[in-house]
Amino acid sequence: MSTGNDFVGRWFSIDGDSGIVRYHGAVSGAKGVWLGVEWATPNRGKHSGTHSGHQYFQCQKGSGPHGSFIRQVDRIIWGQPLLQAAKQRYIVDDLAELNTLPQAIDGRRGKIEAVGLDKIAMEQSDLRSLSVLGLDSLRIDGVDGDAEETKWELANVRTLSLANNYFTQWDRLLGILRTLPLVEILDISANHFESPVRITKERFTVDTLRVDSSGALTWLDIVNVAQQLNVRSLSFGWSQLAAVLDTPVEWYLEELHLESNEIKDISPLAHLPCLRLLNVRGNPISNIALDFSTVCFPQLHTLNLSHTLLAQWSAVDSLLGIASLRTLAIVSTPLTAKDMAPQIIARLPQITKLDGSMITPDERTEMERYYLALCSRSTTTNTTTTTAGAQEIGFLLVDRMAAEFPRIHELVAKHGMPPPPAVERESRLKSRLASVTLMVVRSGGKEVMISESRSLIRMMLVRQIRPIVVKLAKCRGFRLEVSNDEMEDHRHWVALDNDTRPLSYYGVEDGSVIRVLVD
């Protein structure tokens, strides 16, 4: 027999609206038993749990009329047990249903024959064979029913997705983990857990936890949950999280995904001793202020700062202090609106992968030299110099540049002195441009169809000259080769085989010939 406590705290939906039950019982002046509910649906509700001057319940969403009293009618849709939902999704009750499975699937390039769907359906009907269980959006709110049967039927589940279900109380989720102790990957995103989460003394081991789209939970809730489950990898994105203050010192988390929140400062995470991956993509971070008088991110290997608000090079330079950093993503920021990869590579010698591309030793050398030239151009002087006095002026400028370019002394020692601005300005355009010949030739033949001289920027990427070649050759099917021989026959050709490398990587200079082999 159900009691009032069986209803209080449960999520429900009715006629397309949803909410949580806060009260079950009699209401003064009204006959029968009522449900006092707090609506999640916007603009639904007339009060905050008070009727005729008596407070029956309190709404948790804050100020505003989110509460109502409703009858317990059959139209109310309640949550269901885990096992019931699993059977609903995976078990074929009637073998005749297999005959209704599609024999072909419409693909982008026509019909695709669907082979073995009936066999897959039969295998999935044996719940004990499943290690991955996807039960999103099935109104699950706990184990209930026969826990032993659930434990038997789902004994081999290791990956469990329960996103967008009817959970409100943390102990209901723990009941599932007690029943399915082998679960290693758990997704409980977009549920309705209430804050503060009541943590018990029990301890579990879940390797990966996703609690995305859960704006009702606080950072403290998430930390407590992750520690109780002994989580190695945690995702708490799209949840309006504004700060990560009071992060525990002894929290041995290895991966943390906080994508698309409202975080502006990541320094409270710097002390985490085992953190190897941090993803703060899509947060309004405009600066990175780390205090390197103490240990900061001692194990951090991968950092994603893409789609943030970084606009100052000082933020990138601060990453110099993270010696373990190897992989960095930083696309779509104000700082990197243009192609700033050369500067980033030169400023951070420890990284080996930038925005998904590996950095080769040759690329690093080229980028560092290019960066030295940028450093020199950024410093102005009123001193008129000649080439003979350039070296002495250069040493003075390097000291002046050190505050803005922390690696300048190291790079000068490695690659030599950058030319002073007065000298560099005279040859800037000449050093950047190369006068080359673009020669269109049919593949396999020697007949020159078109030959044209062009001035190209040596730091242009191979992919950036392709539009020029398309317009010249009037086709899109071609291969590019370059020859830097001084001989007229240009016998030695090198393929421009990497679109992400600059022309200078292939030695393009004045007099080079770029051959366009048309298919």
Please tell me the predicted confidence (pLDDT) of residue 336.
82
Are both 4-78 and 241-357 of the same fold?
A: no
- Provide the residue ranges of all domains of the chain, joining segments of one domain with +: 4-78, 79-94+113-237, 241-357, 363-419, 432-518
CATH domain 79-94+113-237 topology: 3.80.10
Model pLDDT, residue 236: 98
Indicate the burial class of 184 (C-beta count within 10 angstroms; 0-12, 13-18, 19 or more).
middle
Instruction: Just give the CATH number of 432-518.
Output: 3.10.20.90
* DSSP state at residue 287: -
CATH code of 241-357, in short, is: 3.80.10.10
Please name every residue paired with 17 in a beta bridge, in sequence order, or none if there are none: 14
Question: Cα-flanking dihedrals φ and ψ of residue 447, to 5°?
Answer: -70, 120
- The structure's pTM equals 0.74
Q: What is the pLDDT of residue 409?
A: 84
The reported pLDDT for the residue numbered 372 is 84
pLDDT score, position 390: 41
pLDDT given at position 117: 47
The predicted structure's pLDDT at residue 352: 97
Q: What is the pLDDT of residue 112?
A: 58
The single-letter DSSP state of residue 76 is P
Token pair listed for 246: 């009071």
Chain CA centroid to CA 390, Å = 47
Residue type, 411: L
Tokens for 277, please give them: 């991956």
pLDDT score for 292: 82
> What pLDDT is stored for residue 27 in this prediction?
92
- Tokens encoding 293: 């008088």
First CA to last CA across the chain, in angstroms? 80
The predicted structure's pLDDT at residue 418: 64
Closest CA to 276 of 321, 330, 322: 322
Per CATH, which fold does 4-78 belong to? SH3 type barrels. (2.30.30)
Residues (pLDDT < 70) of the chain are 1-5, 62-64, 92-125, 339, 378-398, 418-431, 443-445, 486-491
